[in-house]
Amino acid sequence: MGDSVTASNLGQVAHDLSLWGLFLQADWVVKTVMLGLLLASVWVWAVVFEKVTTLRRANRAADAFEDRFWSGGSLESLHQQEGERPTHPIAAVFGAAMREWERSSTRPTDATTLVGMQQRAERAMNVAIQREMDRMERWMVFLASVGSVGPFVGLFGTVWGIMNSFSAIAGMQNTNLAVVAPGIAEALFATAIGLVAAIPAVLAYNKITTDLARFAGRLEGFATEFGAILSRQAEERS
């Protein structure tokens, strides 16, 4: 009886089934997979926090800018305040159009020239929108990559760990569950970490992509409305 209790206690000491114990007892390849996935998970949350914060800030700034834009004040004055050194995307779009418009308005104007001024201003706004959206979409590819690749990386760690477990079982010639379970648990832990990294990445990618598309539509809508204003000014000058 005493020998069986001692053997049982030794088995419990040898196989710590806590999460930390499973990590420490894992093969170095599985440990590498786990560490990589954990780092990816931390980076995913950092990217999510940065994107959510940036979008909220950009929408608040756009609300305040549009209130000033539609208040009936001077566009030149608003350009000096917001457009010359823009601190948010919609001001950058406005500033790009105003710079092109003011640069072109210093030349002699006729109907053809005014149409060209409007077209150049619209192109400047489109370029500014693309540049601002490229900046806001940075690291989105990382979220998509972690969401799609993470489970497979975890599965690789699991397969590797199970192969090692079967090799150990063959060497010990013992198929007792107490011998098999710890190695398999270590291996499956890698898949669990892969899912922990991938699931938030997929959900965040879908949500942030939708929010970015909505914000891009807001910028394009502003550019269209501002283009109409410039068109009216061109008609008045002609």
Find the range with the poorest average confidence among 58-67, 68-77, 153-162, 163-172: 163-172
Structural domain contains residue 11: no
47 torsion bin: left (phi>0), alpha (psi -120 to 50), beta (else): alpha
Q: How many domains does the chain have?
A: 1
For residue 201, what pLDDT band results from cuts at 50, 70 and 90? very high
Residue 200: Cβ within 10 Å count? 18
Longest dimension (CA), the chain: 106
Using left for φ > 0, alpha for ψ between -120 and 50, and beta otherwise, residue 72 falls in left
Owning domain of residue 71:
18-237
Say if 8 falls within a structural domain: no
CB within 8 A of 120, min separation 6: which ones? 100, 104
pLDDT number for residue 214: 97
Q: Supply the pLDDT for residue 37.
A: 93
Domain presence at residue 139: yes
Distance from C-alpha of 142 to C-alpha of 50, rounded to nearest angstrom: 13
Residue 6 within a domain: no
How far is residue 113's CA from residue 169's CA, in Å, rounded to a whole number? 83
Q: Which residues of 5-28 are buried (b: 16+ CB within 10 A; e: fewer)?
A: eeeeeeeeeebeeeeeebbebbbe
Any domain includes 77: yes
Structure tokens at 62: 């756009």
Greater pLDDT, 161 or 213: 213
Tell me the C-alpha distance between 165 and 168, whole Å: 5
In a domain, 40, yes or no: yes
pLDDT average, residue stretch 12-28: 64
In a domain, 10, yes or no: no
- How confident is the model over 207-222, as pLDDT tens digits? 999 999 999 999 999 9
| Residues 6+ positions from 37 with CB-CB distance below 8 Å | 150, 153, 154, 157, 190, 193, 194, 196, 197
224 occurs within a structural domain: yes
